[in-house]
Amino acid sequence: MAKLLAANTVLPAALALLVLVMTPGNASGKDGQAAALAAPFGSGGRYWEPEVYTATRFDDQNVAAAAGMLVPFSRQPDRVLFGDVSGRLTEYETWEGDIGFGYRQLLTEGHTLVGGYGYLDEVRSELGTNFRQVTVGMEVQAERWSVRGHHYFVAAHGSQGEGGALTTADRSSVVERGLDGWDFEFGSRLPVSVRAHEIWVYGAYYQFDAPGWESVAGPRVRFDWRIPLDWATVGARLGLGLEWKRDASRGEQHMASIRFVVPMAGAAGAAQSSFRISHWSRARMVEPPMRAVDVVTGSRSSGL
């Protein structure tokens, strides 16, 4: 557990150094819709700032701690190109490193937010297998609903190129393989208005499989409570989550999570706060995409 707490402290500090190199200069272009959305900033405003985030997840069998940074490369008020890098550790000495890039843009006079992104994940499992996963995702969001879809491609490297193998005391070999898959999720914001808090409920379906291996498929329900922390620093947010999913391979799983997001806003804080109040998309433009971060695997035993 001490290692997990260290991860939540050390990783954000290390990632903060990245912003000194990767953060570009201010954008200056405006047109039509962009000019209207930029009004709270005034001339020469800085629209999107890097954000550092941490997350801790508790499930039935494990605790995982993650930290990352999302860095905007373009700063127009109605669109953003961003990079996202993060790392995760669990109490069972497994780890994961992710790097991704994405693009988001406001359409239909600011009523719809569309985006696409891609990630490369490097994962070490409990069996000691190293997996490399590519995630491609698309999203459409509005003020009170969202739709997301992802496709996951897994390349395993280990014994015989199929995954890892662990020899047990009875001389059997447990072989692990990563599964390709997809998921589709729809979310709705509940009609609750308490001090700018947002409560969301999501329903999803996922399916992962590979030739000759048992399919992993089933429903997922997610609850997300988003709490602004502007009293601490402008744009800071707290998220509390609950998740339930079920499939024939793994049975029911229950998870809880807590996450913090802190913008590195600097002098632009007052302008960003004004924009957040005036438009629902402000925080979501630079929000890390919600996707499955675990590599779904299948495992089976074979005698030696």
Cα–Cα distance, 216 to 218 (Å, whole number): 7
- pLDDT at 1 (0 to 100): 46
Residue with the larger pLDDT of the pair 4 and 192: 192
Cα–Cα distance, 88 to 271 (Å, whole number): 33
Average pLDDT estimate for 153-177? 56
2-21+43-303: CATH homologous superfamily?
Inverse autotransporter, beta-domain (2.40.160.160)
| Contact in structure between 72 and 48 (CB atoms under 8 Å) | yes
* Phi, then psi, of 268 in degrees rounded to 5: -85, 5
Q: Is the pTM of this model over 0.95?
A: no
- pLDDT at 248 (0 to 100): 85
For the chain, domain boundaries: 2-21+43-303
Lowest mean pLDDT, pick from 37-41, 139-143, 186-190: 37-41
- pLDDT at 295 (0 to 100): 76
pLDDT, tens digit, 9 for 90 and up, residues 98-115:
999 999 998 877 789 999
| Residue bearing tokens 């693009």 | 103
SS3 (DSSP) at 230: coil
Lowest mean pLDDT, pick from 74-88, 126-140, 224-238, 282-296: 282-296
Cα–Cα distance, 260 to 272 (Å, whole number): 18
Average pLDDT estimate for 66-79? 86
| Contact in structure between 283 and 276 (CB atoms under 8 Å) | yes
Cα–Cα distance, 84 to 45 (Å, whole number): 23
Does the pLDDT of residue 43 top 60, yes or no? no
| Residue bearing tokens 């260290």 | 6
- C-alpha dist (Å) from residue 94 to 3, 126, 158, 214, 239: 12, 6, 16, 24, 24
| Residue bearing tokens 């993650």 | 66
**Residue 28 binned pLDDT confidence (cut-offs 50, 70, 90):** very low
Residues in Cβ contact with 46 at an 8 Å cutoff, skipping those fewer than 6 apart: 26, 75, 268, 271
Average pLDDT estimate for 108-127? 87
Q: What is the mean pLDDT of the chain?
A: 76
